[in-house]
């Protein structure tokens, strides 16, 4: 079915009709066989699925809350939302990014919570404020999380649609605040990025058209299969040892590089193909092979770096711990001044 609207015009933040949805949202499944019709079809499918992934827990939690209120049942624990009572919007604060507001909530029921380690009210989380049991909703994102403030029941937020009159109409009233269990910050900028992709996208040959013949990297084809210096990976030599990179039959043997056969195949694929996936169970050497790939690329960076544009290596990890573990390995073969780490809970190398 054709989508009912353009996904690029859909609000990333929930709308009231998203919360009080009386029918199934328009969603299409990812394709498991065959290619996508076009780039926009692929982006539309990913955007709607990802948006619904964070929207559904919020919708379900508010639905459960409203049911409890209508049936006179005390609201204690909801599966998908956390509820905060007697919330008031206090004074504005003016950081460099714009105008935020301090809010006060009743923390009498949260005395046992260790706010320093709690996953509640994290920076970037989405909270929903309502004065009428969520017949109407106002949205805010948490902009400052101070542990001492949380113990006192205070928090700094950014009201996302302040033009909707939340301060003029309800400034002195008490709100009920719902916090969704889905971490909004993890969705927000990915959704925004999907909306901004237009015309073309890297690797469409494989992601959209589902081609199974993987080409070598263009920087290698343009140079006619240069010789890579393999000396950083060689176990028993410090001399410069060069091999034609695209002719894998002439590569040093797996044992000479300190790899088993599966790791050796993974290294060859990653170096000689422009698109590759290395997967395996824990403790099979994925990080180890990833570091070998990175070390070989860094040693031969003159073949893929350009003189006119920055050509960084981008490493994305699922957890901060995994990222630090990888960076510790890279730091042994790379100048620390050449590493930029983005993320929380940084562990010094």
> Which CATH number characterizes residue 72's domain?
2.40.30.170
Report the range of poorest mean pLDDT among 3-12, 221-230, 255-264: 221-230
**pLDDT tens column, 292-317:** 999 999 999 888 887 777 788 899 98
* Pair (134, 232) in one structural domain: no
Q: Pick from 156, 191, 212: which residue ends a domain? A: 212
Integer angstrom CA distances of residue 16 from 11, 20, 132, 136: 11, 6, 13, 7
* Pair (79, 223) in one structural domain: no
Instruction: Confirm whether 322 is domain-assigned.
Output: no
Chain mean pLDDT for the chain? 87
Please give the pLDDT value at position 318. Answer: 84
* Pair (170, 280) in one structural domain: no
* Pair (205, 231) in one structural domain: no
* Pair (172, 245) in one structural domain: no
Q: Structural domain of residue 255, as residue ranges? A: 214-313
Instruction: Give the DSSP per-residue string, 60-94.
Output: HHHHHHHHHHHTT------SSEEEEEEEEEEEEE-
Please give the pLDDT value at position 295. Answer: 92
Share of the chain above pLDDT 90, in %: 43
* Pair (65, 170) in one structural domain: yes
* Pair (262, 294) in one structural domain: yes
Instruction: Confirm whether 176 is domain-assigned.
Output: yes
Report the range of poorest mean pLDDT among 54-58, 74-78, 245-249, 270-274: 74-78
Integer angstrom CA distances of residue 295 from 14, 230, 271, 332: 44, 9, 11, 10
Instruction: Confirm whether 278 is domain-assigned.
Output: yes
pLDDT band for position 268 (50/70/90)?
very high
Q: Pick from 189, 212, 235: which residue ends a domain? A: 212
Angle of CA points 54, 59, 65, to nearest 5°: 135
The answer to whether residue 197 scores a pLDDT higher than 80 is: yes
Mean pLDDT value of segment 147-154: 92
* Pair (186, 42) in one structural domain: yes
Instruction: Confirm whether 308 is domain-assigned.
Output: yes
Share of the chain above pLDDT 70, in %: 94
The answer to whether residue 348 scores a pLDDT higher than 80 is: no
Reference 254, options 243, 242, 267, 245; nearest CA is: 267
Please give the pLDDT value at position 338. Answer: 81
Q: Pick from 212, 246, 267: which residue ends a domain? A: 212
- DSSP annotation of 349 reads -
The answer to whether residue 349 scores a pLDDT higher than 50 is: no
* Pair (88, 132) in one structural domain: yes
* Pair (100, 74) in one structural domain: yes
Instruction: Confirm whether 12 is domain-assigned.
Output: yes
Count up the domains in the chain and report the number: 2
* Pair (186, 151) in one structural domain: yes
The answer to whether residue 55 scores a pLDDT higher than 70 is: yes
* Pair (207, 225) in one structural domain: no
């Amino acid at each position: 079915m054709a989508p009912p609207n353009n996904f690029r015009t859909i609000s990333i933040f929930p709308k009231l009709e998203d919360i009080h949805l009386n029918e199934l949202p328009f969603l299409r499944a990812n394709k498991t066989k065959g290619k996508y019709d076009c780039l926009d079809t692929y982006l539309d499918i990913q955007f709607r699925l990802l948006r619904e992934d964070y929207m559904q827990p919020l919708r379900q939690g508010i639905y459960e809350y409203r049911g409890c209120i209508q049936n006179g049942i005390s609201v204690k624990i909801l599966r998908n939302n956390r509820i905060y009572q007697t919330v008031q919007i206090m004074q504005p604060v003016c950081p460099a990014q714009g105008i935020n507001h301090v809010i006060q909530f009743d923390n009498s029921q949260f005395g046992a919570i260790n706010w320093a380690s709690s996953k509640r009210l994290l920076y970037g989380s989405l909270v929903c404020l309502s004065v009428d049991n969520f017949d109407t909703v106002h949205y805010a994102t948490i902009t400052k999380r101070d542990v001492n403030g949380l113990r006192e029941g205070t928090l700094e937020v950014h009201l996302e649609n302040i033009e909707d009159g939340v301060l003029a109409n309800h400034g002195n009233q008490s709100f009920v605040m719902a916090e969704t269990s889905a971490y909004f910050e993890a969705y927000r900028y990915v959704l925004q990025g999907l909306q901004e992709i237009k015309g073309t996208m890297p690797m469409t040959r494989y992601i959209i058209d589902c081609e199974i013949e993987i080409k070598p990297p263009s920087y290698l084809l343009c140079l006619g299969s240069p010789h890579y210096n393999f000396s950083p990976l060689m176990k028993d030599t410090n001399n410069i040892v060069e091999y034609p990179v695209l002719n894998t039959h002439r590569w040093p043997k797996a044992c000479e590089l300190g790899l088993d056969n599966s790791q050796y195949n993974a290294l060859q694929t990653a170096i000689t193909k422009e698109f590759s996936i290395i997967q395996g169970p824990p403790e099979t050497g994925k990080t180890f092979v990833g570091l070998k790939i990175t070390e070989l690329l860094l040693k031969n960076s003159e073949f893929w770096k350009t003189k006119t544009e920055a050509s960084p290596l981008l490493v994305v990890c699922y957890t901060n711990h995994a990222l630090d573990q990888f960076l510790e390995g890279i730091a042994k073969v790379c100048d620390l001044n050449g590493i930029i780490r983005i993320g929380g809970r940084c562990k010094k190398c």
